[in-house]
Amino acid sequence: MGMRGLLAAAMLAVGLIATPAMAAKDQAVIGMVLEPPNLDPTGGAAAAIAEVVYANVFEGLTRIDEAGQVQPSLATEWKVSDDGLTYTFTLRRGTTFHDGTKFDSEAVKFSLDRARAADSTNPQKVFFEPIKSVDTPAADQVVITLSHPDGLFLFHLGQAAALIVAPNTAADNGTHPIGTGPFKFVEWVPGDHVTLERTDAYAGDKPKLNRLVFRFVADPAAASAAVMSGDIDAFPNMPAPETLDQFKADPRFAVEIGTTAGETVMAVNQRRKPFDDVKVRRALAMAIDRQALIDGAMFGYGIPIGSHFAPYDPAYKDLTGAYPYDPVEAKALLAEAGYPDGFKATLKLPPPGYARRGGEIIQAQLAEIGVQVELVPVEWAQWLEQVFKGFDYDMTIVSHTEALDIDIYARGKDKYYFGYDNPAFDQVIQQLNSTVDPEQRRALYQQAQQILSDDEAAVFLFQLAKTGVRNAKLLGMWKNSPIAANDMTKAYWAE
């Protein structure tokens, strides 16, 4: 081989070594439908916030794993008093926040006192209601005293709303989040992406990935195309379920169908007529063919529900038969309620496909019983402002992705957007809050589900499936989502 041939061979070898396909990948690009309104999980209700920062940027005293179980996190261990009122936590040593400040018991006290303060904007303030005091006998020890036993206290401490923040930077977490997690915030380009990078200062097990990019793609077709082209490495909740068969047939990709904690409901504003009438709510339920809705809006991915509880939970009670699809009976119920010719209503639809596609199907189904529905698409920020905070809506479709959140129906007619109020239900939730025994809790959960079904407190539709698509070589991601999270701390690229 001449000199020219040797040079060509050398250049070819260099080229082969440098190609992206041959290089070890140290980053992952994750697709998300919704862009978070901010990046502070202790100050916003949107699940998209937690899907970026939970476990990646921020940590809690406990954490929830893929199986929905409580695991240690910033607290390495804990002891609970016999009366269930005192929790003593031992904290992980050698931990710092991303700005270099030390994590200690004072940071925990600050975070919990801030979350439960009178002027708190925490989206799950109810989680912290049982706390009577937070004491710091040592830098690595926190003692939390409750006013009454709470069977979900450790579980709630592992939720996004209970993540620990730094006293000196908490106010700016909405735009520049600073936590103790293995990845630190780098940038947020609104409308496009959030970038995180691994921090070597992390005291726990180091993640294998060096860089995470969360890219926001609301359009289902664009999301599918971005994954197919390799621009996005994984879409944990693919918004185009109609494309899943295409990905299943391509060995470059892995498709994983899992479960979520997302009860998808058509909420109705019970402050307004005719939705304050249980006969009307039952009529709406009987006018909707849930399986047809799942087939049409989610291409068959989803499980019908009859109350606000996940079918995979041991305490689930199957109430899907309470209001079977029966347009004739639905019309009769409307007539009994004083609406023999139906009525007009608006249906506000946030961006997810289950809402936009589902709204069109429900509009057609309700038309069969004389209910004329005007579809009103809104962006996520509008939905939060108008519906969730402002109670300005007739009907809406949304998936509640908080785990074990049946208690939201006990938050009061004037405080929660449903406008639902039933003292009997509130009493069951109060019993649940003070009950630790698993069998007693199971019975109370089933009693609560029955009350919600009897009242048809919302029109219960289906449990949202987790339709994940990823590059087949990107491993270590969650198949199921017991909480809203894209935990990338164990993700890695196979050789």
What pLDDT digit, counting tens, does each position of 331-348 carry?
Answer: 999 999 999 999 999 999
In this structure, what token pair is assigned to residue 240?
């185009």
User: Looking at residues 388-392, what average pLDDT do you find?
Assistant: 96
Q: 54: helix, coil or strand?
A: strand
Distance, CA of 281 to CA of 391 (rounded, Å): 18
Looking at residue 103, the DSSP 8-state letter turns out to be P
**Cα separations in angstroms, 318 against 286, 408, 447, 448, 459:** 16, 20, 12, 13, 15
Reported confidence tier of residue 402, pLDDT bands at 50, 70, 90:
confident
Residue ranges covered by each domain of the chain: 60-165, 262-465
Q: Is the pLDDT of residue 22 over 50?
A: no
pLDDT digits 0-9 by tens, 435-459: 878 899 999 999 999 999 999 999 9
Reported in sequence order, the residue ranges of 131-280 that DSSP labels E, i.e. its strands, are 131-138, 141-146, 183-189, 193-198, 211-216, 234-235, 253-268
Reported confidence tier of residue 46, pLDDT bands at 50, 70, 90:
confident
Q: Is the pLDDT of residue 359 over 70?
A: yes
Q: Which of 409, 439, 436, 438 is nearest to 424 (CA)?
A: 409
For the chain, what percentages of helix, strand and coil (3-state, to nearest 5) are there? 30, 25, 45
User: Looking at residues 219-241, what average pLDDT do you find?
Assistant: 94
Residue count of the chain: 495
Q: Per CATH, the architecture of 262-465 is what?
A: Roll (3.10)
Distance, CA of 30 to CA of 317 (rounded, Å): 35
Distance, CA of 77 to CA of 61 (rounded, Å): 9
User: Looking at residues 77-88, what average pLDDT do you find?
Assistant: 95
Distance, CA of 312 to CA of 485 (rounded, Å): 18
pLDDT digits 0-9 by tens, 165-202: 999 999 999 999 999 999 999 999 999 999 999 999 99
Which CATH class, in words, describes the domain spanning 60-165? alpha beta
Find residue 183's DSSP bridge partners.
Answer: 198
* Alpha helices, H only, 326-437: 327-336, 353-367, 380-383, 423-433
Looking at residue 58, the DSSP 8-state letter turns out to be B
Q: Return the axis-axis angle of helices 353-367 and 290-298, rounded to nearest 10°.
A: 140
Fold match between domain 60-165 and domain 262-465 = no
H/E run at residue 438: helix 438-455
Write down the pLDDT at residue 1: 41
Query: Percent of the chain having pLDDT more than 70?
Result: 95
Reported confidence tier of residue 133, pLDDT bands at 50, 70, 90:
very high
Q: Is the dihedral of CA 80, 124, 310, 68 positive or negative?
A: negative
pLDDT digits 0-9 by tens, 321-333: 999 999 999 999 9
Say if strands 253-268 and 234-235 run parallel, antiparallel, or are unpaired: unpaired
Residues whose CB falls within 8 Å of the CB of residue 20, separated by 6 or more in sequence, listed in order: none
| Residue type at position 135 | D
Q: Which of 395, 380, 475 is nearest to 36 (CA)?
A: 380
Looking at residue 219, the DSSP 8-state letter turns out to be -
Write down the pLDDT at residue 7: 35
* Alpha helices, H only, 199-242: 220-229
Write down the pLDDT at residue 17: 36
Q: Which of 3, 1, 26, 23 is nearest to 14 (CA)?
A: 23
